[in-house]
Amino acid sequence: MIADEWSCQIQRYWKKGSLRPHSGQHVDGTPPKGRWPRRMFLALFLILAAGSAQAAGLVVDHTSVGIFPSIPQSAFTAARQQTVAWYTHTSHGSQLYQGLTMLSEDGYAIPPGFTDNYDTDLGNAEWDTLTRTWLTAHPTTTLVMWSWCGQLSWMSSTEVDAYLAKMQALETEYPGVVFVYMTGHLDGSGPSGTLYQNNDRIRNFCRTGAKVLYDFADIESYNPDGAYFPDGTDACEWCETWCAGHTCPANCTTSYGDCAHSHCFNCYRKGQATWYLLARLAGWNPAGSVPVNAMLLLSE
């Protein structure tokens, strides 16, 4: 077993109608003159908005971290009320939840419906079966996330396609659940490495198919100034340099500590990206973007 995979497996044991016309409508069911054009315009607008959202999908990456400060309190409140998530991972995936924990110390309480399952990861061949078992037992779940350990550093394109196919199958079986795709953490191999190619395969699939993607690798590839570090590792070498010359969160004082394999600032930023994801899925619409739940708005 490759060392990185072994590390992940070891750490898993450390930490689951009415027919009556409504007001403003004639007895025959038709709206008064003048209202029909307005309603048609509204319906058309929502249909176009829904189509745009589907075409764009939702990609959560380093740019999402930069938007975190602009998330309004109403969006945090909506996310806490609406999030019923199951997040399953091993050590590397714990970075995301550790970031949420750090932010909770800053006043951003973790949604009560967010279940953190430190048990296994996408290296488990039965991850999709485990997902079905969970959803059967927890039918109110609306969001499912699985993370990788180091598997994408050596998987073949055929194996990556098998992951994508399983995700699509789950989406078909559970249309009321959002399944979040993920990329794998950096490993130092750079743009010519297997990891980069596999990550890009997932990115392209998600952008083409309008999926929801949490780009784990992209978040640790850029510092807050937007400088790109394509040859970095999951240790987030630039994080050390950044925090030495800038003000980092008060609860981010060590290179590793509770942030598995990495610098605490990397975890902190992944927590911010996760809040962006939850806020968008709860209906928050940043300026210039289309609501993710435009189809839900259309049906209300």
pTM (predicted TM-score): 0.81
Distances in Å between the Cα of 248 and the Cα atoms of 22, 186, 245, 274 are: 56, 22, 9, 19
Domain chopping of the chain, boundaries: 58-288
The DSSP bridge partners found for residue 178 are 143
Tens-digit pLDDT profile for residues 17-58: 433 333 334 434 444 454 444 444 433 333 333 333 333 479
Tens-digit pLDDT profile for residues 230-246: 999 999 999 999 999 99
pLDDT tier for residue 286 given thresholds of 50, 70 and 90: confident
As given in the structure block, the two tokens for residue 123 are: 């290296």
**Residue 17: its pLDDT value, please?**
40
As given in the structure block, the two tokens for residue 242 are: 């950044």
216-220: average pLDDT: 97
Mean pLDDT for the chain overall: 83
H or E element, residue 96: helix 94-104
Query: E strands within 229-299?
Result: none
- C-alpha span between 186 and 166 (Å, rounded): 24
- Hey, which CATH number is domain 58-288, 3.40.50.300, 3.50.50.60, 3.40.50.620, 3.40.50.1110? 3.40.50.1110
Radius of gyration in angstroms for the set of CA atoms belonging to the chain, rounded to a whole number: 21
Residue 142: which residues within 8 A CB-CB, separation 6 or more? 82, 83, 84, 85, 176, 177, 178
pLDDT exceeding 70 applies to what percent of the chain? 75
- 293: pLDDT strictly greater than 80: no
- 186: pLDDT strictly greater than 90: yes
Tens-digit pLDDT profile for residues 85-135: 999 999 999 999 999 999 999 999 999 999 999 999 999 999 999 999 999
- C-alpha span between 162 and 177 (Å, rounded): 20
**Residue 38: its pLDDT value, please?**
45
